[in-house]
């Protein structure tokens, strides 16, 4: 979906991957709300909607991982 810029990557990969390792669903919820609130106000609305989808999908994967 969206390519992760190099400046978000570190020794353990992307920041979002690190947060999944620490099981922090609040990060996903907060970013979903952030992108929904600003959708279209800071540039391309499609990019903001894609970010919302990305965070929802990652959050869903995290929940499913712990449900099994």
What span, in angstroms and rounded, lies between the C-alpha atoms of 60 and 58? Answer: 5
In a domain, 37, yes or no: yes
- Whole-number average pLDDT of the chain: 79
In a domain, 28, yes or no: yes
Residue whose entry in the numeric block shows the structure tokens 């353990």: 12
Tokens describing residue 27: 């990060």
Residue 61's domain comprises 12-67
In a domain, 39, yes or no: yes
In a domain, 4, yes or no: no
pLDDT band at 36 (very low <50, low <70, confident <90, very high): very high
In a domain, 20, yes or no: yes
Number of domains forming the structure of the chain: 1
Query: How do beta strands 9-10 and 13-14 pair?
Result: antiparallel
Does the predicted model carry a pTM greater than 0.85? no
> Are 15 and 52 a contacting pair, CB within 8 Å?
no
Tokens describing residue 48: 């903001």
């Amino acid at each position: 979906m969206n390519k992760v810029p190099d400046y978000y990557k570190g020794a353990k990969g992307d920041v979002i991957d690190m947060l999944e390792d620490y099981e922090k669903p609040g990060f996903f919820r907060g970013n979903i709300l952030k992108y929904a609130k600003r959708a279209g106000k800071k540039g391309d609305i499609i990019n903001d909607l894609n970010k919302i989808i990305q965070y929802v999908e990652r959050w869903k994967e995290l929940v499913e991982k712990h449900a099994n």
